[in-house]
Amino acid sequence: MSELFGTLSDGSVVHRWTLERAGTRVEVLTYGGIVRSVEVPDRAGRTANVVLGFAGLDGYLAHPGPYFGALIGRYANRIGGARFPLDGLVYALEPNDGPNSLHGGDGGFDKRVWDSRPLPHGVRLSRVSEHGEEGFPGRLEMSAAYTLDASGALHIAYEAVTDAPTVINVTNHSYFNLAGHDAGSAGGHELRLAASRFTPVDANLIPAGAPQDVSGSRFDFRRARKVGSGYDHNFVLDKGVTEAAQEVAELHDPASGRTLTVATTEPGLQLYTADHLSAPFAPGDGIALETQHFPDSPNRPDFPSTVLRPGEVFRSETVYAFSVR
């Protein structure tokens, strides 16, 4: 089902798509590809929205920085120094995070209105990112399909092609609070990650040096434990890049019983404990689990490549499945 959600100052119309299946109800906006809500039951059968967001379009326009629920691109996470080399050329981007480019720039995918069309049990969003948009090379034809499967799990499948060499790294930036979007701190949630390494960062949150073993550190989530706070780090998933999505994370709220499992084709996951959220939310009110390639990969040939060339098809999928225990 699609309905009008709001209108931007330039007259662009924003629609809200509602998907419902097997006890899961999801709302997706054509503005920014935003997942506005995900409603699922707790162990007592009480339903709540478990992602942070706003009732109306004005809320998203007034609070763009946290990227609530948004589709992030062309390059999710950070590119150090807002520049990168590709095939002998250096491409300069507009810094929007200190010296870095963050989440595709101030005019990234999260600030765009996407075309939409229905799918069985879902919606496909699409748009063309023209050559030079936010400084990135190549005309990129991009789509993201949001669907619910027979169990009520939310699948987000991305595809892209380009007419010139470019870099691409996309994710969804939902903040989860399995107790409910208005329940306060999510720091007591329990997290398990299938990641034996993480990428340490410098003062600008750019990866510094080689990935490090998590053993004996606060980055070891190989066994479920409380998340706490103070994380904005990329974890190197043990499975690497895979053609099919594989389970890599589990987030559990002991109070409500709600459990989220994340499966992905991506090699990395950014754990962000939302320590910098501000009103109407508070620091730590949600937890972002951003599936991705690694930050600053265009400047790190030792990391899995994010280069897309003409004739190739970029594909990535992440699955969010909900249950109770």
Active site residues: 173, 290
12 annotated ligand-binding residue: no
278 annotated ligand-binding residue: no
Q: Which residues of 249-271 are buried (b: 16+ CB within 10 A; e: fewer)?
A: bbbbbeebebbbbbbbbbbbbbb
Q: Which helix (H) or strand (E) holds 3?
A: strand 2-7
Q: Compute the distance between CA of residue 112 and CA of residue 108 in angstroms, rounded to an integer.
A: 7
Q: Compute the distance between CA of residue 317 and CA of residue 135 in angstroms, rounded to an integer.
A: 26
Q: Compute the distance between CA of residue 146 and CA of residue 130 in angstroms, rounded to an integer.
A: 23
Tokens representing residue 277 in the block: 């959220």
User: 196: which DSSP letter?
Assistant: E
Q: What DSSP line would sit under 95-156, residue for residue?
A: --BTTBEETT-TTSGGGSBPEEEEETTEEEEEEEE-TTGGG--S-EEEEEEEEE-TT-PEEE
Q: Compute the distance between CA of residue 193 and CA of residue 205 in angstroms, rounded to an integer.
A: 21
173 annotated ligand-binding residue: yes
77 annotated ligand-binding residue: yes
What is the end-to-end Cα distance of the chain in Å, rounded? 31
232 annotated ligand-binding residue: yes
Closest CA to 316 of 75, 1, 91: 75
Does residue 74 have a cis peptide bond before it, meaning omega lies within 30 degrees of 0? yes
User: Which residues make up each annotated binding site for beta-D-galactose?
Assistant: 77-78, 173-175, 232
